[in-house]
Structure 1
Amino acid sequence: MRQYHIGQIVIPYEIDWERDRETISLSMDESMELTVCAPMTATLDDIETVLDDKQSWLMKTFYGLEKQANSPRDKEYMSGEKLVYRGRHYYLDVETGDVPEPQLSFDGDRFILTVHERDKPSDEVSVRRKRQAVEDWYYRQAEDDLPKRVDRYAPKLGAEGVTIAVCDLSRAWGEYEDESIRLHWRLVRAPVRIQDYVAVHELAHAKYDDHSAGFWNAVGSVIPDYEDRREWLRLNGPLLTG
């Protein structure tokens, strides 16, 4: 079983060589394993080129199947529901207050969502307003939490001085380019050990452009169990987006 990497996402795949085939095609079943059907004359480089060209399709299909397998009930942001922060689930309490927009706070034991009395529990507009308040809180917290994870490991990988930004990435949990690291704000929902893996992964790109043996050796020198953490992210990453 081979592996194809898109950022921190790892998609396992196998090649089905067919004597009468002329083109390379891709398919993915409910197990989320990719099958590459290729002609006997195709090289591994040919297959990698097709995978690179089909990254958008791969991510859309992979996340679609993952969400089908693990899709939780859509949140209505009502008391008794739970929100995830740093890999732990905390109860949500909804209170009414004199606020123009819903506001979320966290006291270390629970989340408190303060809403205006006009925000009815099941009203679609009110749910959107509450969702925005929750996401705004996560974004602010990510801006505070995630750069600290990078700063902790940068000296160990000789990557001091990189700039760090938190944003909404479309296809990855982290990106490195031109001495700058960008991290997806939703990563703040993951356990700290997973945040550390993504931080180290991107820091290693300061010296290695690709996922070569040297790259993984650098990651492993700091996080010996990086394969377990990478697998956790592959299996649970889609749940962080809800």
Structure 2
Amino acid sequence: MYSIQFGQVTIPYTIKWSEKRKTVSIKVDAQGVYVTAPKETTIEKIKEVVHKKATWIRAQLFHFNEIIDENHHRSFLSGEKLPYLGRQYRLKVIKNESVLHPTFKFQQGVFIAMLPSEITEDQHREKLLPLYEQWLKEKGEVFIRKRINRFTLKLQEEPTKIKIKDQQQRWGSCTANGQVLINWRILLAPVSIIDYVLAHELAHLKYMDHSQAFWDTLRMLIADYEERKEWLRVNGKTLYI
């Protein structure tokens, strides 16, 4: 871990050297400041770049500190509510001696989990979170394939593949070969926010950067994308259960 002093503030940052990069890049997220630099770059040169960007870095850190950081840790006990597409649905846990393996399903507006009787309440999250995640991935892929059509028709571009996966740092991404990858946690958000993430990644099919042309394309797909982007910035942490 490295750091610079900027006025009265110490800014710590992590460095990653890359053989592919030709310039120093800086990324700021809720976890901290990350610098990626060409392999031959000196520590002093990196410090110089970080110091030049210190005002911007502080502003980014301030924004992340604003983000709602409520504790939404679920224990997966009977009676708790689990989110899906912006709504909350009650979880019903049933224990039975005849149950050999945990199961998880959604039926008539209720999540129903079946557990072997010997499973303790402290073990509920360990046993049921992976099943909940898998359910979201399976249902989410079907849902997203339907939602995505409204944007691909306007864009006249289609992804080569759509995949729901676990991404810790991103809500979505678009690869150079046209694959759209979506963080399964975004399926907990309202549909309008899911649409924003989909449109954002699909716009990258035309522009693999954040140029003005990219933002103009995103605005063509979703006129009020700034409002949805801000909702996600402020509320994103509540989607980590």
> Is the TM-score greater than 0.5?
yes
Query: Residue 70 in 1 paired to residue 70 in 2?
Result: yes
Q: Which residue of 1 aligns with 2:155?
A: 157
Which residue does the alignment assign to 1:60? 31
Partner Cα distance (2:184, 2:78) in 1: 24
Instruction: Please name the residue that 1:117 is paired with.
Output: 117
Which of 165, 171, 185 pairs up with 1:167?
A: 165
TM-score using structure 1 length: 0.71
Q: How do 1:192-231 and structure 2 match up within 5 A?
A: 192-231=191-230
1: CA distance between counterparts of 2:79 and 2:217?
43
In 2, the alpha carbon distance for the partners of 1:187 and 1:138 equals 10
Q: Counterparts in 2 of 1:108-147, with a 5 A limit?
A: 108-121=108-121, 123=122, 125-147=123-145
Contact 2:69-2:237 within 8 A present in 1 as well = no
Counterpart amino acid of residue 29 in structure 2: L
Larger RCO: 1 or 2 (CA < 8 Å, sep 6+): 1
- Letter paired with 1:134: Y
Structure 1: gaps of 5 or more residues = 1-16, 19-24, 28-48
CA separation in 1, counterparts of 2:232 and 2:68? 17
**1:184 CA displacement:** 0.8
Ranges in structure 2 where 5+ consecutive residues have no aligned partner? 1-5, 13-22, 33-60
Matched-pair identity in %: 34
> Cα deviations across residues 177-228 of structure 1 (Å, max 9, x unaligned)?
1211111111111111111111110111111122122211111112111111
Alignment partners' CA distance in 1, 2:11 and 2:147: 37
Could you tell me which residue of structure 2 aligns to residue 39 of structure 1? Answer: none
Amino acid at match of 1:158: Q
Inter-partner Cα distance in structure 2 for 1:157 and 1:68: 33
**Using the alignment, how far apart are the partners of 1:131 and 1:75 within structure 2?**
9
Q: Tell me the CA shift for residue 129 of structure 1.
A: 0.9
User: For the structure 1 residues 82 and 161, does the alpha-carbon distance in structure 2 shift closer, same or farther, using more than 3 Å as the test?
Assistant: closer
Equivalent-residue separation in structure 1 for 2:212 and 2:194 (angstroms): 22
Tell me how many residue pairs correspond in the alignment.
194
Alignment CA distance shift 1:67-1:136 (3 Å): farther
Question: Helix, strand or coil: the match of 2:210?
Answer: coil
Q: Secondary structure of 2:69's partner?
A: helix
**More displaced 10-residue stretch of structure 1: 155-164 or 181-190:** 155-164
Deviation, structure 1 residue 234: 0.8
SS at match of 1:70: coil
Letter in 2 for 1:180: Q
1:104 aligns with 2:104: yes
The question of whether the paired residues in 2 share the 8 Å contact of 1:119 and 1:126 is answered with yes
Native 8 Å contact 2:159 2:202 kept in 1:
no
Query: TM-score with structure 2 length normalisation?
Result: 0.71
Shift of residue 131 of structure 1? Answer: 2.0
8 Å contact kept, 1:103–1:115: yes
1:206 is paired with a residue of what secondary structure? Answer: coil
Residue pair 2:136, 2:184 contacting (<8 A) in 1 also: yes
